[in-house]
Amino acid sequence: GDSVTQMEGPVTLSEEAFLTINCTYTATGYPSLFWYVQYPGEGLQLLLKATKADDKGSNKGFEATYRKETTSFHLEKGSVQVSDSAVYFCALWYNNNDMRFGAGTRLTVKP
Amino acid sequence: GAVVSQHPSRVICKSGTSVKIECRSLDFQATTMFWYRQFPKQSLMLMATSNEGSKATYEQGVEKDKFLINHASLTLSTLTVTSAHPEDSSFYICSAIGQGALNYGYTFGSGTRLTVV
């Protein structure tokens, strides 16, 4: 079945370091892909999305490109801040309303 | 953008009592709402999917008599944890989709921390 695999955390970085969180997917069709962020004690917030191959989603300095050839949607940020500390979820979604989430990757950024 | 309001954000209840959690779509009509449970440092576990005006569809292993879901209108779904026990303590999150959802995917509520003592 369709699924999402994220790199295991936790990830600990120093402020201003480069961030990559890997996400790959398995799907029979052409899903939309999302990254959600969850800050401590809160629900999930949409960070960015891409709805078709080669689309690049970007927001708040984060970006991810929908790579059909490698079935990937890796999250990147050039310079992380302490405020980026959170759990990040990769997800895929079809119009049949069935969103599949990765296990989540906890990021801690130290000053 | 789409906004989903979830209340309460925190609740503490005694073992054996029932707790109701509300999930409202504030600026769109939510044709489908989802309820998730999240254990500490883990991903979201889908509990059930509810469509307005029909019975919720529960995931395997979720007790429908314990977790009562009602989706009586296009803007409100409720989750009632009946006869709560300490093992029901968890973080519960709702999400909703409606028209234009492709642009947003799911819109999530802010979650409810339930503690059963």
Nearest residue to A103 via CA among A1, A8, A2: A8
Q: Phi first, then psi: what are they for B81, rounded to 5°?
A: -90, 110
List the end-to-end C-alpha distance of chain A, in Å, as a whole number: 41
Three-state SS for B103? helix
Q: Which residues of B touch A106 (CB under 8 A)?
A: 41
Cα–Cα distances in angstroms (integers) from residue B60 to residues A74, B46, B57, B66, in the given order: 31, 10, 10, 14
Q: What is the mean pLDDT of chain B?
A: 90
User: Is the omega angle on the peptide bond into residue B40 within 30 degrees of 0, that is, cis?
Assistant: no
Nearest residue to B107 via CA among B8, B7, B30, B20: B30
Report strand pairing: B90-98 vs A62-65.
Answer: unpaired
pLDDT profile of chain A (111 residues), mean per 10: 87 97 91 92 90 95 96 97 96 77 93 95
For A:91-110, CB contacts with B below 8 A are 91, 93, 95, 97, 99, 101-104, 106
Question: What are the pLDDT digits (tens) for B6-26?
Answer: 999 999 999 999 999 999 998
Instruction: Tell me whether residues B109 and A42 touch, CB distance under 8 A.
Output: no
Question: What are the pLDDT digits (tens) for A31-50?
Answer: 999 999 999 888 889 999 99
